[in-house]
Homo-oligomer: A and B are copies of this chain.
Amino acid sequence: MTVLYALDLVGTAAFAASGAWVAVRRRMDLFGVLVLGLVTAVGGGTLRDLLVGDLPPFSLQDETYLYLSIVAALTVFASRHRFQAVERPLLVLDAIGLGTFVVIGTTKALDFQLGFLGAALMGVMTCTAGGVIRDVLANQVPLILRKEVYASACLAGSLLLVALESFGTPRPTAALLAAATVITLRLLAIHYNWSLPRS
């Protein structure tokens, strides 16, 4: 599906930029910027592939993801003094990435015969594990565990997808509805500054 692949690349670049930006703010060197860009972009999908047993993972089978992430990270590093201007617009691309990654991760897990809950979790993991690794490497509590409707937007989308799938909805329809749900929830959460109940 060519549109899905294009959206996947958009999301990958946005994730790589967000990872590189965390590295810049944490005053890492060029190598750190590259590593955080790469793991944020491909870490979630790679971990999903490790768990469902599809080895080597997508990121080592189609190196486009690696090259794209490196270019995005280098771009952020090179333009780091003007990056704040694009930080907010980038959140929209990031949200598109979220919706795409949920659909790719959840459907892949279903195709690998995982159960509904497992598949939904793999969808969430595809979106979030890269950012979790990024935050762990930057030595901070992962953002998604603390605040913001981010992972929960992914969870809503992946649960919707497995529910629709179990009712026999054709996959393109289910995928489209799930992605739209994730992207809408995420953009609303940014706009209205939503958060989950805290401890």
List chain A positions with a Cβ less than 8 A from chain B.
Answer: 23-33, 35-36, 38, 46, 50-53, 55-57, 59-60, 63, 66-67, 77, 80, 112, 114-118, 121-122, 132, 136-142, 144-147, 151-152, 155, 195-199
Contacts and interface: CB of A to CB of B under 8 A. Distances in A.
Contact of A196 (B23, B30, B137, B196): B30
Contact of A118 (B28, B53, B63): B63
Contacts of A197: 29-30
Interface of A is mostly: helix
Given A28-B146, A140-B139, A147-B29, A23 B118 contact: no
A76 to B, nearest CB: 10
A145 B23 contact: yes
Contacts of A23: 145, 199
